[in-house]
Amino acid sequence: MDFRLDELDTDVARAARAAFSGRLSPERWTRPETGDAGWTLLGEDGWLDAGLADSDIDAPAGLSALTIIGREAGRSLAGDGFVNNAVLLSLLLDSASDKRGSAELVGRPGFLVADARTEDITGSSAGATSVCMGVEPGMSAYLVTRSGEIQRWPAHAWTFEPFGSLALGAGAVRLAADVEPDFVAEIGGPDREALLLMARTVHAASLVGLGEHALAETVAHVLRRDQFGGPIGRFQAIKHGLADVAVALEVAWNAVMYAAMDTDQASVSIAQIEARSASEAAARSMTQYFGGIAITWEHPAHLYLKTALVSGARFLSGEIANNRVLAALTEGSH
Protein backbone atom coordinates (compact mmCIF):
# COMPACT_ATOMS: atom_id res chain seq x y z
CA MET A 1 0.00 0.00 0.00
CA ASP A 2 1.09 3.56 -0.73
CA PHE A 3 0.67 5.72 2.38
CA ARG A 4 1.97 8.94 0.84
CA LEU A 5 -0.47 11.85 0.85
CA ASP A 6 -1.71 12.99 -2.54
CA GLU A 7 -2.38 16.62 -3.44
CA LEU A 8 -5.90 16.65 -1.97
CA ASP A 9 -4.70 14.97 1.24
CA THR A 10 -1.90 17.50 1.57
CA ASP A 11 -4.30 20.42 1.08
CA VAL A 12 -6.63 19.00 3.75
CA ALA A 13 -3.75 18.51 6.18
CA ARG A 14 -2.49 22.04 5.59
CA ALA A 15 -5.94 23.57 6.08
CA ALA A 16 -6.59 21.48 9.19
CA ARG A 17 -3.28 22.47 10.72
CA ALA A 18 -4.05 26.15 10.17
CA ALA A 19 -7.55 25.75 11.60
CA PHE A 20 -6.58 23.89 14.76
CA SER A 21 -3.43 25.88 15.50
CA GLY A 22 -5.36 29.10 14.97
CA ARG A 23 -8.34 28.13 17.12
CA LEU A 24 -6.81 25.97 19.86
CA SER A 25 -3.52 26.85 21.50
CA PRO A 26 -1.93 24.06 23.59
CA GLU A 27 -1.47 26.64 26.34
CA ARG A 28 -5.26 26.74 26.80
CA TRP A 29 -4.79 23.83 29.22
CA THR A 30 -3.01 26.20 31.63
CA ARG A 31 -5.89 28.69 31.47
CA PRO A 32 -8.96 26.94 32.88
CA GLU A 33 -11.10 30.02 32.37
CA THR A 34 -10.83 29.54 28.61
CA GLY A 35 -14.19 28.42 27.22
CA ASP A 36 -15.13 26.40 24.19
CA ALA A 37 -14.96 29.30 21.73
CA GLY A 38 -12.23 27.65 19.69
CA TRP A 39 -14.17 24.41 19.42
CA THR A 40 -17.32 26.30 18.46
CA LEU A 41 -15.48 28.06 15.64
CA LEU A 42 -14.06 24.75 14.41
CA GLY A 43 -17.60 23.37 14.38
CA GLU A 44 -18.91 26.35 12.44
CA ASP A 45 -16.13 25.85 9.89
CA GLY A 46 -17.18 22.22 9.41
CA TRP A 47 -14.18 20.46 10.92
CA LEU A 48 -16.24 18.60 13.53
CA ASP A 49 -18.48 16.93 10.96
CA ALA A 50 -15.68 16.08 8.52
CA GLY A 51 -16.60 12.41 8.73
CA LEU A 52 -20.13 12.90 7.41
CA ALA A 53 -21.08 12.32 3.78
CA ASP A 54 -22.43 15.87 3.42
CA SER A 55 -19.48 17.54 5.11
CA ASP A 56 -18.50 21.03 3.98
CA ILE A 57 -14.84 20.04 4.12
CA ASP A 58 -13.36 19.19 0.72
CA ALA A 59 -11.63 16.00 1.79
CA PRO A 60 -11.35 12.39 0.66
CA ALA A 61 -14.23 10.27 1.91
CA GLY A 62 -14.01 7.80 4.74
CA LEU A 63 -11.69 7.14 7.60
CA SER A 64 -8.54 8.34 5.83
CA ALA A 65 -9.75 11.95 5.91
CA LEU A 66 -10.49 11.74 9.63
CA THR A 67 -7.04 10.33 10.36
CA ILE A 68 -5.38 13.13 8.39
CA ILE A 69 -7.36 15.78 10.27
CA GLY A 70 -6.97 13.96 13.59
CA ARG A 71 -3.21 14.01 13.14
CA GLU A 72 -3.32 17.80 12.88
CA ALA A 73 -5.66 18.08 15.88
CA GLY A 74 -3.10 16.16 17.92
CA ARG A 75 -0.51 18.87 17.29
CA SER A 76 -2.74 21.29 19.24
CA LEU A 77 -3.40 18.73 22.00
CA ALA A 78 -6.95 18.43 20.73
CA GLY A 79 -6.96 14.75 19.78
CA ASP A 80 -9.44 13.58 22.38
CA GLY A 81 -11.80 16.44 21.64
CA PHE A 82 -11.63 15.74 17.92
CA VAL A 83 -12.35 12.04 18.43
CA ASN A 84 -15.28 12.91 20.68
CA ASN A 85 -16.84 15.40 18.29
CA ALA A 86 -15.86 14.42 14.75
CA VAL A 87 -16.14 10.66 15.19
CA LEU A 88 -18.26 9.54 18.14
CA LEU A 89 -20.76 12.37 18.56
CA SER A 90 -20.94 13.39 14.92
CA LEU A 91 -21.85 9.91 13.69
CA LEU A 92 -24.13 9.12 16.63
CA LEU A 93 -26.08 12.35 16.19
CA ASP A 94 -26.25 11.84 12.44
CA SER A 95 -28.07 8.55 13.09
CA ALA A 96 -30.62 10.15 15.43
CA SER A 97 -34.28 9.82 14.53
CA ASP A 98 -34.88 13.55 15.03
CA LYS A 99 -32.85 14.67 12.02
CA ARG A 100 -33.79 18.32 12.39
CA GLY A 101 -32.74 18.53 16.00
CA SER A 102 -29.61 16.44 15.55
CA ALA A 103 -28.51 18.50 12.56
CA GLU A 104 -28.49 21.55 14.80
CA LEU A 105 -26.24 19.71 17.23
CA VAL A 106 -23.66 18.39 14.78
CA GLY A 107 -20.64 20.65 15.01
CA ARG A 108 -21.41 21.75 18.57
CA PRO A 109 -18.54 20.91 20.92
CA GLY A 110 -19.03 18.33 23.63
CA PHE A 111 -17.72 15.14 25.14
CA LEU A 112 -19.14 11.68 25.59
CA VAL A 113 -20.15 10.59 29.07
CA ALA A 114 -18.81 7.04 29.14
CA ASP A 115 -15.93 5.10 30.61
CA ALA A 116 -13.13 6.24 28.30
CA ARG A 117 -10.89 3.42 29.51
CA THR A 118 -13.14 0.81 27.94
CA GLU A 119 -14.78 0.24 24.58
CA ASP A 120 -18.29 0.72 25.94
CA ILE A 121 -19.73 4.03 24.77
CA THR A 122 -23.01 3.35 26.55
CA GLY A 123 -23.33 5.46 29.65
CA SER A 124 -25.42 4.76 32.72
CA SER A 125 -28.12 6.81 34.38
CA ALA A 126 -27.86 10.53 35.00
CA GLY A 127 -25.95 11.30 38.16
CA ALA A 128 -23.48 8.46 37.70
CA THR A 129 -19.78 9.19 37.59
CA SER A 130 -17.97 8.39 34.35
CA VAL A 131 -14.35 8.52 33.29
CA CYS A 132 -14.20 11.06 30.45
CA MET A 133 -11.47 12.48 28.23
CA GLY A 134 -11.35 15.62 26.13
CA VAL A 135 -13.37 17.59 28.70
CA GLU A 136 -12.99 21.36 28.39
CA PRO A 137 -14.87 24.23 30.05
CA GLY A 138 -18.12 25.26 28.39
CA MET A 139 -18.70 22.00 26.55
CA SER A 140 -21.92 20.02 26.62
CA ALA A 141 -22.01 16.48 27.96
CA TYR A 142 -23.60 13.79 25.79
CA LEU A 143 -24.92 10.59 27.33
CA VAL A 144 -25.80 7.49 25.32
CA THR A 145 -28.23 5.46 27.38
CA ARG A 146 -28.61 1.69 27.33
CA SER A 147 -32.09 2.15 25.87
CA GLY A 148 -30.66 3.78 22.73
CA GLU A 149 -31.17 7.46 23.48
CA ILE A 150 -28.62 10.23 23.19
CA GLN A 151 -29.05 13.09 25.66
CA ARG A 152 -27.33 16.45 25.77
CA TRP A 153 -26.62 18.05 29.13
CA PRO A 154 -25.63 21.75 29.16
CA ALA A 155 -22.38 22.97 30.64
CA HIS A 156 -23.95 23.93 33.96
CA ALA A 157 -25.40 20.43 34.43
CA TRP A 158 -22.14 18.56 34.99
CA THR A 159 -19.17 18.74 37.30
CA PHE A 160 -15.65 17.62 36.53
CA GLU A 161 -12.87 16.38 38.78
CA PRO A 162 -9.56 15.85 36.95
CA PHE A 163 -7.31 12.95 37.77
CA GLY A 164 -4.64 15.01 39.49
CA SER A 165 -2.10 17.36 37.97
CA LEU A 166 -1.15 14.92 35.20
CA ALA A 167 -4.59 14.86 33.63
CA LEU A 168 -5.51 17.34 30.92
CA GLY A 169 -9.22 17.04 30.23
CA ALA A 170 -9.32 13.56 31.77
CA GLY A 171 -11.28 12.88 34.92
CA ALA A 172 -14.54 11.99 36.57
CA VAL A 173 -17.74 13.63 35.33
CA ARG A 174 -20.96 13.63 37.32
CA LEU A 175 -24.27 14.73 35.84
CA ALA A 176 -26.54 16.78 38.08
CA ALA A 177 -29.50 14.81 39.39
CA ASP A 178 -31.75 17.90 39.51
CA VAL A 179 -31.22 19.02 35.90
CA GLU A 180 -32.87 17.61 32.80
CA PRO A 181 -31.10 17.19 29.45
CA ASP A 182 -31.93 19.91 26.92
CA PHE A 183 -31.95 17.49 23.97
CA VAL A 184 -33.01 13.84 23.66
CA ALA A 185 -33.20 11.69 20.53
CA GLU A 186 -33.34 8.03 19.58
CA ILE A 187 -30.25 6.80 17.78
CA GLY A 188 -29.94 3.95 15.33
CA GLY A 189 -26.63 3.09 13.73
CA PRO A 190 -23.77 3.20 13.22
CA ASP A 191 -22.56 -0.21 14.30
CA ARG A 192 -20.98 0.34 17.72
CA GLU A 193 -17.98 -1.91 17.10
CA ALA A 194 -17.22 -0.23 13.77
CA LEU A 195 -17.64 3.21 15.35
CA LEU A 196 -15.14 2.38 18.08
CA LEU A 197 -12.64 1.02 15.57
CA MET A 198 -12.88 4.36 13.76
CA ALA A 199 -12.45 6.29 16.99
CA ARG A 200 -9.41 4.26 18.02
CA THR A 201 -7.80 4.78 14.61
CA VAL A 202 -8.32 8.54 14.62
CA HIS A 203 -7.14 8.70 18.22
CA ALA A 204 -3.92 6.92 17.24
CA ALA A 205 -3.47 9.46 14.43
CA SER A 206 -3.80 12.30 16.95
CA LEU A 207 -1.04 10.78 19.08
CA VAL A 208 1.22 10.68 16.02
CA GLY A 209 0.51 14.37 15.42
CA LEU A 210 1.31 15.15 19.05
CA GLY A 211 4.62 13.33 18.74
CA GLU A 212 5.51 14.97 15.44
CA HIS A 213 4.92 18.44 16.87
CA ALA A 214 6.99 17.63 19.96
CA LEU A 215 9.78 16.31 17.74
CA ALA A 216 9.74 19.38 15.47
CA GLU A 217 9.92 21.73 18.45
CA THR A 218 12.78 19.73 19.94
CA VAL A 219 14.77 19.66 16.71
CA ALA A 220 14.38 23.43 16.35
CA HIS A 221 15.57 23.88 19.94
CA VAL A 222 18.69 21.70 19.70
CA LEU A 223 19.71 23.54 16.53
CA ARG A 224 19.61 26.95 18.19
CA ARG A 225 20.72 26.07 21.74
CA ASP A 226 24.48 26.62 21.92
CA GLN A 227 26.79 24.84 24.32
CA PHE A 228 30.57 24.45 24.20
CA GLY A 229 30.86 26.57 21.09
CA GLY A 230 28.04 25.17 18.98
CA PRO A 231 24.46 23.88 18.89
CA ILE A 232 23.76 20.91 21.14
CA GLY A 233 22.17 19.15 18.20
CA ARG A 234 25.63 18.31 16.90
CA PHE A 235 26.17 15.81 19.71
CA GLN A 236 25.79 12.22 18.59
CA ALA A 237 23.64 11.14 21.53
CA ILE A 238 21.05 13.82 20.77
CA LYS A 239 21.12 13.22 17.01
CA HIS A 240 20.66 9.48 17.41
CA GLY A 241 17.98 9.88 20.06
CA LEU A 242 15.88 12.18 17.89
CA ALA A 243 16.47 10.02 14.83
CA ASP A 244 15.04 7.06 16.74
CA VAL A 245 11.96 9.14 17.60
CA ALA A 246 11.53 10.18 13.96
CA VAL A 247 11.66 6.56 12.81
CA ALA A 248 9.17 5.50 15.49
CA LEU A 249 6.74 8.22 14.42
CA GLU A 250 7.03 7.25 10.76
CA VAL A 251 6.31 3.62 11.63
CA ALA A 252 3.35 4.70 13.74
CA TRP A 253 1.88 6.87 10.97
CA ASN A 254 2.15 4.04 8.46
CA ALA A 255 0.41 1.74 10.94
CA VAL A 256 -2.38 4.30 11.35
CA MET A 257 -2.87 4.70 7.61
CA TYR A 258 -2.93 0.94 7.15
CA ALA A 259 -5.60 0.69 9.85
CA ALA A 260 -7.61 3.42 8.10
CA MET A 261 -7.53 1.48 4.83
CA ASP A 262 -7.96 -2.04 6.23
CA THR A 263 -9.79 -1.62 9.52
CA ASP A 264 -10.00 -4.58 11.88
CA GLN A 265 -9.13 -5.32 15.49
CA ALA A 266 -5.54 -6.33 14.71
CA SER A 267 -4.61 -3.40 12.46
CA VAL A 268 -6.18 -0.84 14.79
CA SER A 269 -4.49 -2.37 17.84
CA ILE A 270 -1.11 -2.24 16.10
CA ALA A 271 -1.70 1.41 15.23
CA GLN A 272 -2.56 2.18 18.84
CA ILE A 273 0.51 0.40 20.19
CA GLU A 274 2.89 2.13 17.79
CA ALA A 275 1.29 5.57 18.22
CA ARG A 276 1.34 5.39 22.01
CA SER A 277 4.97 4.35 22.12
CA ALA A 278 6.14 6.92 19.57
CA SER A 279 4.23 9.86 21.06
CA GLU A 280 5.50 9.11 24.55
CA ALA A 281 9.08 8.81 23.28
CA ALA A 282 8.77 12.15 21.48
CA ALA A 283 7.31 13.91 24.51
CA ARG A 284 9.95 12.47 26.84
CA SER A 285 12.72 13.54 24.45
CA MET A 286 11.23 17.03 24.30
CA THR A 287 11.31 17.26 28.09
CA GLN A 288 14.87 15.94 28.29
CA TYR A 289 16.48 17.99 25.52
CA PHE A 290 14.83 21.27 26.42
CA GLY A 291 16.44 20.95 29.84
CA GLY A 292 15.36 23.00 32.83
CA ILE A 293 12.86 25.19 30.99
CA ALA A 294 10.86 22.08 30.05
CA ILE A 295 9.84 21.50 33.65
CA THR A 296 8.49 25.01 34.17
CA TRP A 297 4.79 25.80 34.08
CA GLU A 298 5.31 28.42 31.39
CA HIS A 299 6.83 26.04 28.83
CA PRO A 300 4.41 23.70 26.97
CA ALA A 301 6.68 20.62 27.12
CA HIS A 302 4.89 19.31 30.19
CA LEU A 303 1.55 19.60 28.39
CA TYR A 304 2.73 17.30 25.61
CA LEU A 305 4.17 14.77 28.04
CA LYS A 306 1.02 14.74 30.18
CA THR A 307 -1.20 14.32 27.15
CA ALA A 308 0.93 11.52 25.71
CA LEU A 309 0.81 9.64 29.02
CA VAL A 310 -2.86 10.17 29.85
CA SER A 311 -4.52 10.26 26.42
CA GLY A 312 -2.40 7.33 25.30
CA ALA A 313 -4.28 5.13 27.76
CA ARG A 314 -7.66 5.83 26.19
CA PHE A 315 -10.08 3.10 25.06
CA LEU A 316 -8.17 0.02 26.20
CA SER A 317 -4.99 -1.04 27.92
CA GLY A 318 -1.78 -1.82 26.11
CA GLU A 319 -2.00 -5.39 27.35
CA ILE A 320 -5.39 -5.90 25.67
CA ALA A 321 -4.09 -4.37 22.43
CA ASN A 322 -1.06 -6.66 22.49
CA ASN A 323 -3.25 -9.69 23.14
CA ARG A 324 -5.45 -8.82 20.15
CA VAL A 325 -2.45 -8.58 17.87
CA LEU A 326 -1.14 -11.90 19.18
CA ALA A 327 -4.53 -13.53 18.64
CA ALA A 328 -4.66 -12.27 15.06
CA LEU A 329 -1.13 -13.50 14.34
CA THR A 330 -1.77 -16.96 15.75
CA GLU A 331 -5.27 -17.42 14.34
CA GLY A 332 -5.39 -20.61 12.31
CA SER A 333 -1.84 -21.61 13.22
CA HIS A 334 -2.94 -24.55 15.37
- How far is the C-alpha of 16 from the C-alpha of 22, rounded, in Å? 10
User: Structural domain tally of the chain?
Assistant: 1
For residue 65, is it within any domain?
no
Query: Across the chain, how many H-helices and E-strands are there?
Result: 11, 9
What pLDDT, on the 0 to 100 scale, is given for residue 126?
A: 44
Query: CA-CA distance, 267 to 332, in Å (whole number)?
Result: 17
- What burial class does residue 127 get, using C-beta atoms within 10 Å of its C-beta: 0-12 exposed, 13-18 middle, 19+ buried? exposed
Question: At 278, which CATH number?
Answer: 1.20.140.10
Mean pLDDT (whole number) for 40-45: 92
Q: What is the pLDDT of residues 86-113, one digit of tens each?
A: 999 888 887 776 544 555 555 479 998 8
Which residues does residue 187 pair with via DSSP β-bridges, in sequence order? 96
pLDDT for 52 equals 76
User: pLDDT for 55-78, tens place per residue?
Assistant: 656 555 578 899 999 999 999 999
Assess if residue 126 is contained within a domain: no
In which domain, by residue range, is 269 found?
192-330
Q: Return all residues near 276 (Cβ < 8 A) that are at least 6 apart.
A: 204, 207, 308, 312, 318
- To 10 degrees, what angle do helices 63-75 and 236-261 make? 150
Q: Which residue has the higher pLDDT, 2 or 264?
A: 264
Flag whether 178 is in a domain.
no
Please give the pLDDT value at position 240: 96
19: CB partners within 8 A, 6+ apart:
42, 45, 47, 72
In a domain, residue 262? The reply is yes
Contact 114, 88 (CB under 8 A): no
Q: What's the rounded mean pLDDT across residues 238-264?
A: 96
C-alpha atoms less than 13 angstroms from C-alpha of 99 in its C-beta half-sphere: 0
Could you tell me the pTM of the whole model? Answer: 0.90
Tens-place pLDDT, residues 188-209: 766 888 889 999 999 999 999 9
**pLDDT at residue 146, rounded to an integer:** 79
Pairing of strands 110-112, 140-144: parallel
Is 214 a member of any domain? yes
Residue-level pLDDT at 331: 64
The percentage of residues in the chain with a pLDDT greater than 70, rounded to a whole number, is: 81
Query: 51-55, 57-61, 245-249: which has the minimum mean pLDDT?
Result: 57-61
Q: Per the domain annotation, does 202 fall within a domain? A: yes
217-225 long-range CB contacts below 8 Å, 24 or more apart? Answer: 217/286, 218/242, 218/282, 218/285, 218/286, 218/289, 218/290, 221/289, 221/290, 222/289, 225/291
Extended strands (E) in the chain = 110-112, 129-132, 140-144, 149-153, 158-162, 171-175, 183-186, 226-227, 230-231
The DSSP annotation for 31-58 comes to -TT--SHHHHHHHHTTGGGTTSTT-SS-
User: What is the mean predicted confidence (pLDDT) over 285-294?
Assistant: 93
The reply to whether 250 falls in a domain is: yes
Q: Is residue 308 part of a domain?
A: yes
The top-scoring range by mean pLDDT among 156-160, 182-186, 259-263, 278-282 is 278-282
pLDDT at position 118: 66
